[in-house]
Every structure is written in structure tokens, then in C-alpha cells.
Amino acid sequence: MKRIGMLTSGGDCQALNATMRGVVKGLYGSFKDVEIYGFLEGYKGLMYGNYKKLKADDFSGILTKGGTILGSSRQPFKLMREPDANGMDKVKAMKDTYKKLKLDCLVVLGGNGSQKTANLLSEEGLNVIGLPKTIDNDLWGTDMTFGFQSAVDIATDAIDCIHTTAASHGRVFIVEIMGHKVGWITLHAGIAGGADIILIPEIPYDIKSVCKALDKRAKQGKRFSILAVAEGAISKEVAALPKKERKAYLANPKYPSVAYEIADQIKAYGGQEVRVTVPGHTQRGGSPCPYDRVLSSRFGAKAAELIKQEKYGELVVLKNNEVTSIPLSESAGKLKYVSPEDSIVQNARMLGISFGDE
């Protein structure tokens, strides 16, 4: 008998259910007897023993279903060693639940913070397998995370829809795309949607350069322009501040978001008519795209294979289109940033896309 626990942690995305389905189908194909325990609301369920025993039928028909049948919650890694409001030792509580259920392995579907906790539990002696979930595609060690392509598709569709109204009215449109620390979604959606300017956290922008790019288009007879802006985009002035000052500045914004600040700056510079669109959490919602369904199924099958081999403490990853795994410790605590030198950035520049930095 194999007893496997599963949880989905952090922000949700479209392919969580598809990935769990892949794990379970792989397990049922590998072992005669399997019990699956799903922890509700992520690590919170593991801490407080809130779980349910799942049957094969629970994973039927969920390949195309977005969100997560287990629910999720954010449990910051930096607080994992701190007692809860009632003085409970969180790490000990999670280990106790694991041992109470006599689990052979815990499968964690989550992003950077979730995998840091997964690595912590692995170091504490639990058998853990990580699966790379995040729409941001910022998990170090994998070329792709599940959820990313679905988010890109939605963000691209938003830009596509903006094109027609922008062209009709001859306006500048700013589409603010998710990505607090990294700009992968904005970069991919911006290129796919034909954005004229792409602003991402890794390449601080100069508003004068942004306006210069808009002026250049206007002089070429272009009636409209579209900016794809990551929610974490920052100006060169802010980026140059000492870390404490920058953190304080970002913690007390004068605008609802960076897109509105940039809009005001563009208006002040040249008087162009500017509109802001924020797709927001729609980028996390809906059904997973076909690419993510395939990727999630492959990831799930690999997790089942690792469990069969009793190869624990691993994170399933995609490398050069091959699904493999790396130690959780190699990825934990590291973010995969967009480098200004990445070929995709250089390709975009060759296409005439401005990053607002020159």
C-alpha cells in the first residue's frame, strides 16, 4: 500500500487540477494499492490536519478544469519557523500530520515560496516531491512552469482586444500584466500581442525614453501605441534608490498601480490620450491551454515515476523539452529572472520593440 499526500500552495493557476490528475493516473498505473490524501488550502491543511481521502473518481473530468479542487492559501516561508497565533510549531505540526497518516510521500504543487517549504520538510526527513507551479515562470531550474502559457494566452488576448479600440480612437493604451518581480508573462504576451513598448522589472525604464518611442511612432504616422507593462515595472530613478528607500517608496504608492503612474507621466509629457487596462486575476483563471495540459500531464507522470523509484527530495522540471528532475535544494530560494541579455529580449529589440531604457 502506497499512501501519498498532495497539496496545492500559493497563488492558483489553470493547470493545478491537470497536474494532480497526471500524478494520480501515474500512481494507479504503477502500484496495485494506492491511497491519496488531499490537504485542503495548501500547507494550512497539512499544519492543522485538514484533509480528505480522495478516490479515483475525484480526479475524473478535471483535466480541463481551472483552479484547484483542494483549495490553496499563501503561507509565507519566512514565517514557517514562527509559531502560529496559538503558539503551535508549524513545522512540527506538518511532520506530525505526515506521520499520523503514515504517508510514503508528500507531493507539493507550488511556486518559489512553496518549494522552499517543500525543501525544508525534505531536510526535516519527509519524503517530498515538488511540482513547479506558477504563472510567472520564475521558478529556478525549469525552463517552464505549468500555468505560465495559459496566463500568457489570456494576457495576449487582452492586448489583441485592445488593438482594435486603440486603432479606432488613435489612443495610447497601457495593458498592465501580472509579474511583480519578474517579467516573463509581459515579455511573451507583449511580443505575441504586438506591443510597441514592453516594460518589465528587470529592465528599469526611463519615462523620457518611453515618450521618445511614442513620439517616433507618431512621426511615422502611427495613430496608436500599445504598452505591455508588468505590474512590478520600475523606473531607473526608483531602481537607483538604496534598498531600504526603494522598499519604502514601493510600499507607499501614490497611484493604484504603476500603469496609472506611467499614464500620467505620458500625458504630462506630450498630452497624448492614454487609457489603462488591467486584466488582473483573469490571467490566473479559466481552463488550462492545451500546452499546459500536456506539460502538466508529463510533470504528473514524472512525479509518479520518482515515487515508484523512491527518489525523493526532487523537483520535477522541464529542460530542453525533456521532463526530468533536480534536487529541491538546488531550486529553493532562487528566482529565474529575465536577463537583458537573453536572446528573446534581443530578438524583441530587433523587431523594434522598446524596453524604455534607451
Residue 272 and residue 240 in one domain: yes
Query: For 356, phi and psi rounded to 5 degrees?
Result: 70, 20
Question: Beta partners for 8?
Answer: 109
> Do 43 and 90 fall within a single domain?
yes
Give pLDDT tens digits for 35-86. Answer: 999 999 999 999 999 999 999 999 999 999 999 999 998 888 888 888 988 8
175 plus 54 within the same structural domain: no
Q: What is the signed CA dihedral for 349, 351, 355, 357, rounded to 10 degrees?
A: 50
Strand partners, 228: 175, 198
pLDDT for 310 beyond 90:
yes
Q: What is the mean pLDDT of residues 338-358?
A: 96
In a domain, residue 252? The reply is: yes
Classified as helix, coil or strand, 175 is strand
Lowest-confidence pick of 86-90, 121-125, 299-303: 86-90
Pair (11, 142) in one structural domain: yes
On whether residue 112 sits in a domain, the answer given is yes
Q: What angle do CA 327, 23, 54 make, to 5 degrees?
A: 125
Write out the residue range of the structural domain in which residue 175 sits.
Answer: 149-284
Q: Same domain for 12 and 117?
A: yes
Q: Is residue 142 domain-shared with residue 153, that is, in the same domain?
A: no
- Shared domain check, 192 and 93: no
Contact 51, 325 (CB under 8 A): no
User: Which phi and psi (to 5°) does residue 194 adopt?
Assistant: 70, 35
Q: What is the mean pLDDT of the chain?
A: 94
Is 121 inside a domain boundary?
A: yes
Kindly indicate the confidence band of residue 333, based on its pLDDT and cuts at 50, 70 and 90.
confident
Rounded to 5°, angle at Cα 263 from 261 and 266: 110
Predicted pLDDT at 194: 97
pLDDT for 180: 87
Closest by Cα among 156, 110, 194, 195 to 283? 156
CATH code where residue 25 lies: 3.40.50.450
Strands (E) in 251-313, as ranges, are 274-277
Active-site hit among 136, 153, 196, 292: 136
Mean pLDDT computed over 340-347 = 96
On whether residue 348 sits in a domain, the answer given is no
User: Where among 284, 316, 340 does a domain terminate?
Assistant: 284
Asked whether residue 338 is domain-assigned, the answer is no
Last residue in a domain, options 245, 260, 284? 284
Lowest-pLDDT choice from 69-73, 125-129, 144-148, 301-305? 69-73
Query: Which residues in 53-65 are b (16+ Cβ under 10 Å) and which e?
Result: ebeeebbeebbeb
CB-neighbour burial class of residue 299 (10 A; exposed 0-12, middle 13-18, buried 19+): buried
pLDDT at 146 > cutoff 90: yes
The pTM score is 0.94
Q: Is residue 42 in a domain? A: yes
Catalytic (active site) residue 143: no
User: Has residue 277 been placed in a domain?
Assistant: yes
Which residues are within 8 A (CB) of 72 and not within 5 positions of it... i.e. 6 or more apart?
A: 8, 9, 10, 11, 12, 16, 41, 42
Q: Which three cell numbers stand for residue 271?
A: 498630452
Confidence (pLDDT) at 170 = 82
In this structure, are 157 and 276 located in the same domain?
yes
67 and 176 both lie in a single domain: no
Number of domains in the chain: 2
Shared domain for 218 and 128, answered yes or no, is no
